[in-house]
Structure 1
């Protein structure tokens, strides 16, 4: 037993009293812990069924619900999970035929960091036992950004203001004791298992923490189940086995894959990687080539993180498994098509200079489809200029940093139908650092439980579109959707459309400002936000604080404003505080915004905090059809109309009821 393992006290404090009871009905299927009818047509559909452990049969203990950062409940899908002590179980009734499962779980860290392992028994219908070996080696980070793997580490940035200890260490003012472990986070991981045969709807999958488990607790968040397609075979392709690749994973296959790519380019053939686990410990450079696997459950590229003998020119101190286009400065890569395999990395710490991403470089006129990317730094980090990339039908999980980032001059590219869970930074981002991303689309993606930052973020750029996505459970210091001028990004221009998205359990607490954010957060930090920004048809559900927030940071509040923003045909179901929080100069229009279960006044209008006799510097324009509200009355009350002032900087939070169908 690892009695001193980190995290046990966190779990115990968050747990509900007593074991869970047995539900009368089979385990219900959810999407982002919601009834699927509430998110119909939104997000990705990759053919698996999601079932939450808190809805399943168990003799364990329900953890949560809770939304306080640095707790197991907060990082769980739906903000709740089930904790199993050794000998306890949770079981799920399959809703459809399945031969594969994914288990999202958490086990404690070792007392000194570095992770532990523990077994999990998987049985179907009380027999057909299999064993999974769970690990926390890729979880449990601590301290300030960019985090530490050491639970006992002192301040990483002694000159930073640290809210929890109220200290600014300097030569004359000694800091109070720094609590450790400090800000534990990134608790969960997931693991996939092929069951070896097809089971049917109504069959029961039981997950048991064995009586002799080395983990004092095993927390199960959810189970995904699916019927996996048979392995794909391409007899006309250049098979990597013919060039010496080892499907057992014992020998490094990188050079063999390079040889297959070189041959395939000359012969105008695709490269085929058949079922197996292939050891790859560096980047595979791809250009003008198609690489196909047998399917992401069968073909796995798996590597170790390798320390470089000297830092690379880009600052990397490690390398690892990944497929990279050529650098944009060398012309980038073109006509690259990747599909049907998994990338399993070995990244356990965040080093921002490291290029240890699943997919990287510049890829123009290319496509990435049907990959599973796990345990890399960022799933896909594309550095432009580049154009015409399509990213579709991929799953990205358990990243140290972003899920997918379009960085600098990525144009006319589409990210559609992808599923992302447990990213360590933004799930999806367009970052127009120095050069604008333009004409890009994020459409019908699902982003769940980003541990830090936002579900979907736009940092500058031109003519960008975010539509029909589902974003759930951002954990801290971010929102479901952010439109921000920050991180050295160019200003927004053209038309920015954010439409027909659903967010749930977002609007988190901003630790440094000590205020609640919005499900959508519009942020003027380095430039004004004055492009044509249209937010239309979105559903903001079960917001922890605000549904909509528009803010300029205090040092620049008199330099930058937010204007030309138009909200229409919005549904807001539940806010802990307000529908709209305005903390900037400027203005926005509202039309057909329906709200219910609003915890505080509908509009908290602080403007830029000058409190002039004329009222707020932020103008709310009512274009009609704005209905509903909460216990304080209509959300768009008459006294909230243009150029009046209300400002309750930190209103009392009233937890809303769960979302329900809109009649």
Structure 2
């Protein structure tokens, strides 16, 4: 499927370039600037995903004298981790130029530059001009990118296998008592290549103005990959006059000294005087957790108020197992009653996390917060953007941007109830973009609605691990890279059982259905996984669109060692559109059954149903039953996708058929 790739290797290891060099593609006046959402025509995802203040433009659609890379959906390549699976590579002296589709005074550039030969990253310049003038220089860095090796990864490109007794695999779900991995070529499995940088332009430019990104001739980066440009019209700073202003308590807006103590004093004063805390424009150094309870903290806006910190190594591990601390706003631990009435808005949190240590609490937002709101934050370079350890209830998370995380974007972990995550934008998470994980206590009554999740490097766009009466609706999920799907419903990781109902409604997935390297098979854009328990709650999948699927659109599976223990039942698909599958519409590798009504499919690359059941192949038919409730139309070259395979649940077990790349999605 790959047309061209840039192999993901650092300076000193060589770089293989491919694609077509373009000479000033898209000359002035040729066509209006192309605007996308998740690298797709916005008309195909109307009403779904987050309503954001910026406009997205892909570098491969802009004017450039660089080299387009991709499309590629192979893990561990620069093109595969790019939005839309394409990007532009620039050598020193080359440029990519975007035409602004709307007035803007701020831009965000998503990019990649090489790692240092021994790891740890480099910095490199990128010149920005508008209409050939108003030059400024962004400083790009790879310090927060470039991970290697097996889970939980390393920053060292020269490292030997972290787990030489494992299969070459991405997670600890494969038992240790397996065939040891053979010798490897270093660097082994580089990944997590991209980062992004924001820039205020200093004035407002009009639609039609030209923003050119040029790699200076003397750049120390052998190559620079530009993935996309977001442009935005940022409003003036928010001012709160009557408040506990952190400057009055000694905070340093220039970031030269640590302001954590000043923040703590302002919070204490605000609580005594029943005031809000206000953080005016500036960059504030904070190198530890700020504990919040019964307090409102407002910034001037996430472009103006930046709370930035170093990751600090602890002298001895904390009781929770952390070996580092860093910037973050934390509610009290649930064991201490948690926090309530916390309201955070209008600032950025920038961490310094460069490696994955699962015991570390180095998240942007953490702890337990009930009856609280988090709105309008911009979080990057932390381990997890927001990680909540319940029990807790009634949290509203809205209008936030979470990017460039080492692990999850957001995780409701253990007993989070009656809470909403709405209109948030998540890009380049190192694990699940959004997750509910019902470990020990069920997450219940929660809703993930109208969020956009793009390019999770590992795992899923949205994952629901157990729980009761939860809803995933109106989201847009694009480009999961490996070991996951756009949406996963999983009985795994010690999660409590699914009970009550789970509603997955009116979501759109794009370029999902990745390849599962552990199993050596393709996944579905939506993936049901019965690993530790039956999945038998009332699950309604209604109104979802699965577009441009690399392999399957829908997958229901158990793992081989437990295939005769666990089943998936009571799943109902209705009013679904499937536009393009590399292989099948449905892949079933489990016992149980599901019903299908008004599931319309087109551009199907293989037989519509891959039904292996639980691999016992009884003469009576598959152990997985597909119930046809009518209206299941369309298919591919093999005919109607469902009709021939329903009764008597015909066994059509072919896990690895030839992959037929589907055409680009189009209006239905």
Both structures adopt the same fold (TM-score exceeding 0.5)? yes
Partner of 2:372: 366
User: Structure 1 residue 555 and structure 2 residue 558: aligned?
Assistant: no
Question: Structure 1 length normalisation: TM-score?
Answer: 0.97
What is the aligned counterpart of 1:315 among 318, 321, 332?
321
Q: 1:606 to 1:170 in 2, by over 3 A?
A: closer
Q: SS of 1:589's equivalent?
A: strand
Q: SS of 1:252's equivalent?
A: coil
Partner of 2:445: 439
Q: Does the aligned pair in 1 maintain the 2:165–2:179 contact within 8 Å?
A: no
User: Structure 1 residue 22 and structure 2 residue 31: aligned?
Assistant: no
Structure 2 unaligned regions, length at least 5: 1-6
TM-superposed CA distance for 1:14, in Å, is 5.5
- Give the CA RMSD over aligned residues: 1.8
Partner of 1:45: 51
Q: 1:330 to 1:20 in 2, by over 3 A?
A: farther
CA distance in 1, matches of 2:539, 2:178: 48
Q: How does 1:288-299 map to 2 (within 5 A)?
A: 288-299=294-305
CA distance in 2, matches of 1:163, 1:418: 31
1:516-551 deviation per Cα after TM superposition (whole angstroms, max 9, x unaligned): 000000000000000000000000000000000000
Q: SS of 1:348's equivalent?
A: coil
Structure 1 unaligned regions, length at least 5: none
User: Structure 1 residue 424 and structure 2 residue 430: aligned?
Assistant: yes
Q: Does the aligned pair in 2 maintain the 1:14–1:71 contact within 8 Å?
A: no
CA distance in 1, matches of 2:443, 2:177: 45
What is the aligned counterpart of 1:242 among 212, 228, 248?
248
What is the aligned counterpart of 1:389 among 389, 395, 416?
395
Q: Does the aligned pair in 1 maintain the 2:254–2:283 contact within 8 Å?
A: yes
What is the aligned counterpart of 2:643 among 633, 637, 643?
637
Q: Does the aligned pair in 2 maintain the 1:385–1:409 contact within 8 Å?
A: yes
TM-superposed CA distance for 1:179, in Å, is 1.5
Partner of 2:224: 218
CA distance in 2, matches of 1:370, 1:274: 15
Give the stretch that moved more between structures: 182-191 or 629-638: 629-638
CA distance in 1, matches of 2:179, 2:211: 57
CA distance in 1, matches of 2:149, 2:71: 24
Q: How does 1:249-288 map to 2 (within 5 A)?
A: 249-288=255-294
Partner of 2:666: 660
Q: 1:486 to 1:20 in 2, by over 3 A?
A: farther
Q: Does the aligned pair in 2 maintain the 1:308–1:318 contact within 8 Å?
A: yes
CA distance in 1, matches of 2:541, 2:177: 49
TM-superposed CA distance for 1:404, in Å, is 0.4
1:373-420 deviation per Cα after TM superposition (whole angstroms, max 9, x unaligned): 010000000000000000000000000000000000000000000000
Partner of 1:112: 118
Q: 1:325 to 1:438 in 2, by over 3 A?
A: same
TM-superposed CA distance for 1:273, in Å, is 0.3
Q: SS of 2:25's equivalent?
A: coil
Q: How does 1:155-194 map to 2 (within 5 A)?
A: 155-162=161-168, 176-194=182-200
Partner of 2:498: 492
Q: Does the aligned pair in 1 maintain the 2:338–2:367 contact within 8 Å?
A: yes
User: Structure 1 residue 576 and structure 2 residue 582: aligned?
Assistant: yes
What is the aligned counterpart of 1:82 among 52, 74, 88?
88
CA distance in 2, matches of 1:96, 1:175: 52
1:192-251 deviation per Cα after TM superposition (whole angstroms, max 9, x unaligned): 000000000000000000001100100000000000011000001110000110000001
Q: Does the aligned pair in 2 maintain the 1:5–1:110 contact within 8 Å?
A: no
Q: 1:386 to 1:124 in 2, by over 3 A?
A: same
1:310-363 deviation per Cα after TM superposition (whole angstroms, max 9, x unaligned): 000000000000000000000000000000000000000000000000000000
Q: SS of 1:15's equivalent?
A: coil
CA distance in 2, matches of 1:647, 1:145: 31
1:40-59 deviation per Cα after TM superposition (whole angstroms, max 9, x unaligned): 00000121000000000000
TM-superposed CA distance for 1:15, in Å, is 2.3
What is the aligned counterpart of 2:620 among 608, 614, 618?
614
Q: 1:111 to 1:244 in 2, by over 3 A?
A: same
Partner of 1:475: 481
Q: SS of 1:130's equivalent?
A: strand
Question: Structure 2 length normalisation: TM-score?
Answer: 0.96
Partner of 2:603: 597
Partner of 2:4: none
Q: SS of 1:96's equivalent?
A: coil
Q: 1:232 to 1:163 in 2, by over 3 A?
A: closer
Partner of 1:377: 383
TM-superposed CA distance for 1:642, in Å, is 4.2
What is the aligned counterpart of 2:79 among 64, 73, 84?
73
User: Structure 1 residue 513 and structure 2 residue 519: aligned?
Assistant: yes
Q: 1:641 to 1:112 in 2, by over 3 A?
A: same
Q: Does the aligned pair in 2 maintain the 1:11–1:63 contact within 8 Å?
A: no
TM-superposed CA distance for 1:639, in Å, is 3.7
CA distance in 1, matches of 2:506, 2:8: 44
Give the stretch that moved more between structures: 487-496 or 175-184: 175-184
Aligned length: 656
Q: 1:456 to 1:597 in 2, by over 3 A?
A: same
Q: 1:223 to 1:170 in 2, by over 3 A?
A: closer
1:55-99 deviation per Cα after TM superposition (whole angstroms, max 9, x unaligned): 000000001010000000000000000000000000000011100
TM-superposed CA distance for 1:608, in Å, is 0.2
CA distance in 1, matches of 2:83, 2:12: 20
Q: 1:400 to 1:163 in 2, by over 3 A?
A: closer
Partner of 1:300: 306
Q: SS of 2:458's equivalent?
A: coil
Q: SS of 2:19's equivalent?
A: strand
TM-superposed CA distance for 1:11, in Å, is 9.0
TM-superposed CA distance for 1:638, in Å, is 2.3
Partner of 2:350: 344
User: Structure 1 residue 91 and structure 2 residue 94: aligned?
Assistant: no
Q: 1:109 to 1:571 in 2, by over 3 A?
A: same
